[in-house]
Amino acid sequence: MINVTKTYLPNKKKYQKYVDEIYANGWITNNGPMVKELEKRLAKYLGVQNIILVSNGTSALEIAYRTLDIKGFAITTPFSFVATTSSLVTNGIKPIFADIDAKTLNIDPEKIEEQITPNTSAIVPVHVFGNACDVVAIDKIAKKHDLKVIYDAAHAFDVKFKGESLLNYGDISTLSFHATKLFHTIEGGALIINDDTLVEKARYLINFGIENAESIPELGTNAKMNEFEAAMGLCMLDEIEEVLEKRKNVDDIYHKELVGLVSLTTQNPHSTKNYGYFPIILKDEDERLKIQKALNEKQIFPRRYFYPSLDTLYYIEPKQKCEISRTISNKILVLPMYPELSEEEQYHIIETIKIKMDA
């Protein structure tokens, strides 16, 4: 069986050493030494100033909204994992969708500005599949209308834009370190905060709003990362270059064999790739169904990211319709992509697609 993704597990003996340390010091949560070490190492590796580790990517988004005091409406994309939208709704913020660009699959900056009203307080774009949004255009719009920008950068670990970390754009960028991501901490996430004055507030918010034993200055929640997860992150970081290289090899083969046969996303020319995903866009839903069925029959399981288009969710008010996002969500497939995917398995996937395309 070949699934769309497979969790990468780093060196077991190295992880065991970290676990032994945890047992020895008895510190398993509440900003322990491994969380602190991982924050320090990740900040250096990613090229960011302030990073705060949290329990998952959804919590990272929610803490970002609270840190920036987002109210009213936020303009976001309908083409993303559901957490991008649900995290807004559960924090009392109304998502207003701007449709996507059919080639990049990212939010279309031209459609953002027409959705802005006096009730708009933020823009929440997503770097879909790690492809950088038009951050320059979005920055101009935000400054013009005095809006905060929170980037859902769940897919954008280690992506550079014009030679610098993409995560440094916006007021806050959030990461997911879920087990399916190219860098993971089993479960986990992070906030990258560019304003030093907001870091302390965010740290209170992830720890019930507590400053110390006698002071609770914020209304917080429990979003802390634990030591076992941080230990996994430290092991992953030791092996991340190998992981990225193997993913690049998989990406290179797919690109060489499938370019011209199916539509591929248009990469931001100023952005690097992290090889987290390999989406293909078929001619229509019928072709997608045909290809998906052929692959499934051979125990190959790609996935239709992202379906359904988030503007169709029942709990969205006001009702909206984003035609491009709905169309793409019906005809996209993300092919299996992970470091251990062998060339033999990969060519089996490719030949199945080619045969069915010719049929």
**What is the spatial distance between Cα 159 and Cα 165, in angstroms, rounded to a whole number?**
6
- Average pLDDT of 55-69? 98
Task: Give the start-to-end residue ranges of the domains of the chain.
Answer: 2-235, 240-358
Q: Does domain 2-235 have CATH number 3.40.50.2000?
A: no
Q: Tens digit of pLDDT for each residue in 116-173?
A: 999 999 999 999 999 999 999 999 999 999 999 999 999 999 999 999 999 999 999 9
Look at residue 359 in the predicted model and tell me its pLDDT: 66
The amino acid occupying position 206 is I
Residue 29 buriedness (CB in 10 A; 0-12 / 13-18 / 19+): middle
The amino acid occupying position 64 is A
User: 314-331: string of b/e by CB count within 10 Å (b at 16+)?
Assistant: eebeeebebebbbbbbbb
Look at residue 6 in the predicted model and tell me its pLDDT: 97
Q: Is the pLDDT of residue 270 over 70?
A: yes
Q: What is the pTM of this model?
A: 0.97
Look at residue 128 in the predicted model and tell me its pLDDT: 98
Q: Tens digit of pLDDT for each residue in 74-105?
A: 999 999 999 999 999 999 999 999 999 999 99
Hey, which residues does 96 pair with through a beta bridge? Answer: 75
Reported as half-sphere exposure (CB side, CA atoms, 13 A), residue 133 has a value of 34
Read off the tokens for 206: 């992830």
Is 181 among the residues known to form the active site? yes
Q: Tens digit of pLDDT for each residue in 299-316?
A: 999 999 999 999 999 999
**CATH topology assigned to domain 240-358:** Aspartate Aminotransferase, domain 1 (3.90.1150)
Return the closest-CA partner of residue 153 out of 135, 167, 165, 168: 167
Read off the tokens for 108: 């279309």
Annotated catalytic residue within 181, 201, 273, 331: 181
